[in-house]
Amino acid sequence: MYFCRKTNGVYMTKLSVNINKVATLRNARGGNVPDVVKVALDCERFGADGITVHPRPDERHIRRKDVYDLRPLLHTEFNIEGYPAPEFIDLVLKVKPHQVTLVPDSPTQLTSNAGWDTKVNFAFLSEILDRLNKAGIRTSVFVSADAEMIEYAAKAGADRVELYTEPYASGYAKNREEAVAPFVEAGKAARKLGLGLNAGHDLSLENLNYFYQNIPWLDEVSIGHALICDALYLGLEKTIQAYKNCLR
């Protein structure tokens, strides 16, 4: 049974910075500027609780080499997300990050845009999760805010679910109470099943605090796009601090 982490009676939600955008910028010129490893270490120095990477088969963002380079140098939690194709599983079993997040995206997809249908993919996910669990890697399954999908993720053997928050982010401006409601229910369903709870996609300085206020038992948020864009204006250190402040 999983218990949400509390320190001095307060839930601690971790901020994992997704550095794929930094790799995209580097790849645009072919050299090593910006240096993905240095940026990751600076994120940690500025207060990030973890680093997330999403290596794709075409290596258009993070490359396999980045994953190997980062592993021994990071001091915080390393989360590798991606579609569990054989090459991905081979990579994560070699690298052994703290957490692997399974995402149902196709190789050519611009970005993840849906959670798993954990019922339809139950046998496939069970087999993959079993291999990762046996390797001692914490597992998380990317799902929509849907109690049935969460239930099947738990049955398949996931340690956590990561809620796909795009619908929350896109509904926030119009009616934030309505936008967050299904996520609160999903968060309760995960908690009842003893699952840890992560969230990510389109979370930002605008919408993060309200999400956290409503679901304070969140274990971790994984944020890339908005955070790296904010860093263009605020700088990386102030940006990370601003995001951390949204989780208090």
Contact positions vs ligand PXP (CB under 6 A): 18, 20, 54, 81, 101, 103, 111-112, 142, 162, 200-203, 222-226
Catalytic, out of 44, 77, 162, 201? 201
**Residue 24 or residue 126: which is nearer to ligand PXP going by CB?**
24
Closest residue to ligand PXP using C-beta atoms: 200
**Residue 41 or residue 79: which is nearer to ligand PXP going by CB?**
79
| Minimum separation from the CB atom of position 221 to ligand PXP (A) | 8
| Structure tokens that stand for 4 in this block | 């949400």
> Is 81 annotated in the active site?
yes
Q: Is 136 left (phi over 0), alpha (psi -120 to 50) or beta?
A: left
State residue 10 phi and psi, 5-degree precision: -115, 135
> Is 54 annotated in the active site?
yes
Catalytic, out of 54, 151, 162, 166? 54
Which residues are within 8 A (CB) of 160 and not within 5 positions of it... i.e. 6 or more apart? Answer: 2, 99, 138, 139, 140, 141, 190, 195, 196, 197, 198, 219
Residues 52 and 19: beta-carbon distance below 8 Å: yes
| Minimum separation from the CB atom of position 124 to ligand PXP (A) | 17
Alpha-carbon radius of gyration of the chain: 17
| Minimum separation from the CB atom of position 29 to ligand PXP (A) | 21
| Minimum separation from the CB atom of position 8 to ligand PXP (A) | 28
**Residue 196 or residue 200: which is nearer to ligand PXP going by CB?**
200
Task: Give the β-pairing of 138-143 and 77-82.
Answer: unpaired
**Residue 195 or residue 223: which is nearer to ligand PXP going by CB?**
223
| Minimum separation from the CB atom of position 159 to ligand PXP (A) | 15
Catalytic, out of 44, 77, 81, 162? 81
**Residue 10 or residue 173: which is nearer to ligand PXP going by CB?**
173
Active site residues: 54, 81, 201
